[in-house]
Homo-oligomer: A and B are copies of this chain.
Amino acid sequence: MTHHRSLQEILKAVHSGKMTVNDAVHHLKGLPYENLGYAKIDHHRGLRTGFPEVVFCQGKTSEQVTDILKRLSSKNPVVLATRADENVYKDVAKVIPHAAYNKDARMIVIRDPKHALNPQKDAGYILVVSAGTADIPVAEEAALTAESMGSRVERVYDVGVAGIHRLLDQKEMLDNANVVVVVAGMEGALASVVGGLVSKPVVAVPTSIGYGASFQGLAALLSMLNTCAEGVAVVNIDNGFGAGYFAHLINR
């Protein structure tokens, strides 16, 4: 994998004649992605950012998703696809039989059987907290993403602030987490309350759950951005994947 050589190594190889000028040009310019025409699969991303490209299925045909996943899974131990509906999964499963589907999270996970992931039970964990039952799909997307990347994840669901004792009961669970993901729609107040209770980073995910003046999640988004608690950062509305990914980077 020459693309790991440093600039200096390549130049030294050129200088010593071990590498031709043309090869050097190729190495310096040719970063390892695969060109499917409609998509440029970024095999290099795993090396660069620690995890392979994740396929966002919305707006892609079933064929495109299948094709991209086939190529990604041939070179990576774990591959994820988000916002995948069940039909897409069925098409993928025909070609990649060990692909698994999580209906709640609408995610496809393809894990190389040789790379089983067994996070130790006493590993530091990410806590995913959701305000209501309807927020669970987004919460599961976050949880599954982080788990697929190798983090231990714990879940506490339906602890919205309207019955704050349900949340306070989980104080120990909150205190021991390395990072907390808070998933909430409507007014999104849960992020502020959790942020005030813990000393760890809180990743807030507004959801589009609500109606009327929630404006498809805008109310929760603004609420979380304006939190009076410290130690809270926010991702896009319904972006469970982004929160899980970000939380894993911290937990790692």
Q: Are B242 and A163 interface neighbours, CB within 8 A? A: no
Assuming A28-B7, A165-B44, A186-B228, is B193 touching A211 (CB within 8 A)? no
Interface size on A, residues (CB 8 A): 102
Instruction: Kindly state whether residue A237 has any CB partner on chain B within 8 Å.
Output: yes
Q: Are B228 and A38 interface neighbours, CB within 8 A? A: no
Q: Which residues of B contact A210 (CB under 8 A)?
A: 226
8 Å CB interface, A88-144 against B: 131-134, 136
Q: Are B161 and A196 interface neighbours, CB within 8 A? A: yes
Instruction: Kindly state whether residue A198 has any CB partner on chain B within 8 Å.
Output: yes
Q: Which residues of B contact A229 (CB under 8 A)?
A: 161-162
Q: Which residue of B lies closest to A221 (CB)?
A: B213
Assuming A44-B163, A162-B192, A209-B59, is B49 touching A25 (CB within 8 A)? no
CB distance from A141 to the nearest CB of B (A): 12
Q: Which residues of B contact A21 (CB under 8 A)?
A: 8, 11-12, 15
In the complex, the count of this chain's copies comes to 8
CB distance from A75 to the nearest CB of B (A): 15
- Could you mark each residue 22-57 of chain A with 1 if its beta carbon is under 8 Å from any beta carbon of chain B, else 0? 001100111101000111101011001111011010
| Alpha-carbon distance between A8 and B221 when the two chains are bound, in angstroms | 39
Q: Which residues of B contact A86 (CB under 8 A)?
A: none
| Alpha-carbon distance between A162 and B199 when the two chains are bound, in angstroms | 12
- Could you mark each residue 176-217 of chain A with 1 if its beta carbon is under 8 Å from any beta carbon of chain B, else 0? 000000000011110011011111110100101111111111
- Could you mark each residue 160-172 of chain A with 1 if its beta carbon is under 8 Å from any beta carbon of chain B, else 0? 1111111001000
Q: Are B236 and A211 interface neighbours, CB within 8 A? A: yes
Instruction: Kindly state whether residue A76 has any CB partner on chain B within 8 Å.
Output: no
Using a CB–CB cutoff of 8 Å, the interface residues on chain A facing chain B are 7-8, 11-12, 14-15, 17, 21, 24-25, 28-31, 33, 37-40, 42, 44-45, 48-51, 53-54, 56, 58-60, 64, 131-134, 136, 157-166, 169, 186-189, 192-193, 195-201, 203, 206, 208-239, 242-243, 245-246, 249-250
15 contacts between A and B (CB under 8 A): A8-B25, A15-B21, A31-B165, A33-B166, A42-B166, A44-B165, A53-B163, A162-B228, A201-B250, A213-B225, A213-B236, A219-B225, A222-B223, A233-B234, A233-B246
